[in-house]
Amino acid sequence: MPVTPLHYPFAFLISKSNKRLILPALVVGSVMPDIEVPLMWIFFSSLPDHLFLHSFIGAATVATLLTVLVTRFLYAPIISTIFGIDRVDLDDACKINPWMVASSFIGVMSHLVLDFPMHWYNPILWPMVDPFDIVGPLILLLEPSFGFWTAYIIASSLTHASMIILWIVILVVLYSKGNLWYHHWVGRSSTA
């Protein structure tokens, strides 16, 4: 997995593809599957730490539902407290409606899409297919030249580096527009 917050830039880009997508739901969804990682360490240490929420089945159900709830009830209070964004605008952006639910789902899927190429096992088709049978394509591409584990480290580093660069670009562009944190956390809205 890319370090969890590094899923943000991809979610932000997706938000630019359609005006009706809800940035807060995309952002929460993009990090949601990783909440299972510490839980797996603590409660199921014999199993892979990416499993249920990194599968299509778990992502489309539990992770999407959790994203809807966290976006609706936690996003506005947390982001308004930390970044000083108007609470009314945040609450307005986080209302539950069909586009917010769709954005939650898309955000969660964006997590799986970003994890997939660089991860050395992928539970996307769990429980039908063993996660260890699905190696990320970026690793397979690099493996002949570098060997498996070095290929994994390179694939992981490339993913991290591209997300960090993308995030910096996003921050610079939003800063130049003014109202940086509003656009970073709320996105477009009728009141912006």
Please give the residue whose beta carbon sits closest to Zn ion in the complex.
1
For Zn ion, which stretch binds (CB under 5 A), given 26-34, 59-67, 128-136, 144-152? 26-34
- For residues 110 and 11, give the distance between their C-alpha atoms in angstroms, rounded to a whole number: 7
The site for Zn ion, by CB under 5 A, has a size of 4
36 binds Zn ion (CB under 5 A): no
For Zn ion, which stretch binds (CB under 5 A), given 31-39, 62-70, 83-91, 143-151? 31-39
115 binds Zn ion (CB under 5 A): yes
Per-position b or e across 49-58, b if 16+ CB within 10 A of its CB: ebbbbbbebb
89 binds Zn ion (CB under 5 A): no
- State the amino acid at position 56 in one-letter form: F
Task: Decide: residue 190, CB within 10 A, 0-12 exposed, 13-18 middle, 19+ buried.
Answer: exposed
Out of 27, 28, 34, 79, name the contact with Zn ion by CB under 5 A. Answer: 34
Residue closer to Zn ion (CB basis): 5 or 77:
5
Residue closer to Zn ion (CB basis): 1 or 11:
1
- For residues 104 and 100, give the distance between their C-alpha atoms in angstroms, rounded to a whole number: 6
- State the amino acid at position 91 in one-letter form: D
CB of 144: closest distance to Zn ion in angstroms?
Answer: 26
Please report, as residue ranges, which positions from 163 to 182 form the binding site for Zn ion (by CB under 5 A).
none
CB within 8 A of 111, min separation 6: which ones? 7, 29, 30, 31, 32, 33, 34, 54, 59
CB of 189: closest distance to Zn ion in angstroms?
Answer: 29
Instruction: Give the 3-state secondary structure of residue 119.
Output: coil
Please report, as residue ranges, which positions from 43 to 62 form the binding site for Zn ion (by CB under 5 A).
none
Residues lying near Zn ion in the complex (CB under 5 A) are found at 1, 33-34, 115
